[in-house]
Structure 1
Amino acid sequence: MAAAVAASLALALSGCGPAITTGAEGVDAGTCAPEDIFLVDSGRGLQNEYYVAVEAGAKAFAEEMGMLDQYQWISSDGDSSKQLSQIKAILAKHGHCTVLNIDANESSIVPALVHEVESYGAWLVTQWNKPDGSSPLTSSPHWVAHMSVNGVPQGYETAKALFEEMGGEGSVVVLQGILDNPPAKERFEGFQMALEEYPGIEMIENQTAGWDRTEAQNITETWITAHGDEIGGVWSAGDDMALGAREALLNAGIEAPVTGVDGLSQAQQLVAEGSGSLYVATTQSTGVLQGAYGLAIAYAAATGEVDPASLPPEQREFYLEDLPVVTRENVNTIRDAMDTTFLEFEDPWQYAGDPITD
């Protein structure tokens, strides 16, 4: 099966140029044999269901290639220094045939990650976070690609669903993600766009909870102390934070609607339960896609099946296709966040949408 997938991937990408070379001394870049490759996926931690979905996708790719014993998940636990140290150690051990799919904890560490990867001649795909103005296109061929999801429509549509549930008027509180993370910025931008369309809605609090459920619950409890049932709704940039906020509301006996982003199974289940659950909307999970195809793209570069320097811009820095938000009207038609049965690896860009331009 692995040989068949590798052959079909090579055929699908046969229009690409020859394997790249690197300045790293003694490294045969882009010519790694499958048995020499070590696959790595890294994100904040598997206590968050989104990352469980990411790993499910990554493992699906590794299993398809017959490489499960050459795969490792690494949790940064929200610690950027720890994540960078982990990647350095793995590169030192596995060298230029290391294939990495990394959700950097903060955008600010991406240049250091790229530097380390390039110094070993290894192969990197990043997810979600990178500094404004940085790009695989203007950096190193060893930073093969950057993949994300456009947060603006997500923030906009979930905010509109919340405001409609509130009857178009009332006070809303906002939980943001890590503020230097592009998805946090984009989702809040979408929220602000929707807010302009609803003059009866007032934002009375706005704070980052760092994508963390417990922190979001604590912040919401503080807001409840200050505002009580004046809180008419909670917009959150992520489901994990929204679930923490919901718990605080339930404990206080406040029936205010909540929305999130990320498509966690618990969030989708609550949406399906209806208004009594307080959960109005979320988005569809992209974790499986990011885990599977992030590794697949970096793998294709490591084996020489693609030359990153010859790829078109829309294959090196791109959003995944936009998906409809999850509401009570469509929740029963949405694929489960952990489902990997639909994955096919002949074309790792099959779910790519618009190019990222910043």
Structure 2
Amino acid sequence: MRQTPRRFGTAMAALAATLLAAVPAAAATPRPAASDWAQDGHDAGHDAYNPDEYRITAGTVNRLVQRWSIATTGGAVQQQAPIVAGTQLFLTDSAGIGAYNATTGVADWQFPLPKTDNPQAPALATDGAALIAYLRTGELVSLDTATGSVRWRTPVPSRAPAGKLLLDRGVVVAGGNDGENLGAWAFEAATGKPLWHRLGLDPQWPVADGKMLLSRPYRGGLQAVDFATGRVAWETDRDWFGYAADPTGRFFLVGQDNDLLKVRADSGRVVWQAAGLSGAPAVDNDRVYLGVEDQPEMVVAVDLYTGEERWRLAAGLLPIVAGGLLWTSHSSPDQGWQLEALDPVTGVPFDLPAAVHNAGGPDRTVVTHGWLYTTDGATLRAFTVPGSPEALRAPSRS
């Protein structure tokens, strides 16, 4: 067999290496870390569950102290619960969007919102590289997380004050019903390029098995569509409202009238139905926790696999699970907003420092990266455990 001259083979190898180096590598889709609280409800599953928190736990919760706070300014209202990615915290109210150091509260940048007769705080989501904001003036804006500069912006016809914003695997979906425009619009998160839209349908919260839920307000029922393409995967004539996905991403938790249902995300088949339960839940690997608007406000825990009730306690609404703790908020005319930390298995409350107990609010608490963040709608307060690496990086200030 004829041998290839050594020098010729070496030259060809060098040429091949040069050509490969000239081909740009495919850019990876930015994704937040699992421990980040990157959008409302923690992630696109909207399960309000952070399984990676390990600083604020049953053993440390009684040592939490407030380290800093951020108040609204200039007459702004509707301060929302923050979202957090790595060392950055993003906070919004009716006046604008701010990026802050998550351990010190020091501002990185501000993005003011246009003044309107009916100011509304935007919905936020981040993949770590970009912050996506669904402005209630009918616009979707992508901001660079490092600088706050605009990467792209595009109109969203619906100006729904309670519209949904979901970000998952490089796709962002925004929309809702503003009384005149109803629909869901999907865009490429990196560029703002339109991907698909569905008119006359109202987007619901969770993403599971690569699908999202769209309700049909005018004719009843609901569709499950592919999050990336908008193609219908299955539909039902039952009027379900999508609350959350389970942590496996294989099931939806939906509401129907005053019942809670667990359904398969790939087919819509009902796994179980629990009567008399409704509301936005938190979902961990074992149980579903619902805040039931009753007198008093109740937290009810049901088994994730059977739907059977495990316990209930008059402890408030807006549940989230992190660090093996179940956090809820409740209010009373005499005491205002209060925060509770419960044992998820039994519902037994833990003793909290007074400053933490009195720091509840009308939005979910956020617990991530060793910090607890809570807002009463006017002031965000940040708590951590003294002596932890997170606390040592945070000089105390208010």
Instruction: Choose between structure 1 and 2: higher strand proportion.
Output: 2
**Larger RCO (CA under 8 A, 6+ residues apart):** 1
Structure with bigger gyration radius: 2
Instruction: Choose between structure 1 and 2: higher helix proportion.
Output: 1
Do Structure 1 and Structure 2 share a fold, with TM-score over 0.5?
A: no
Taking structure 1 as the reference length, the TM-score comes to: 0.29
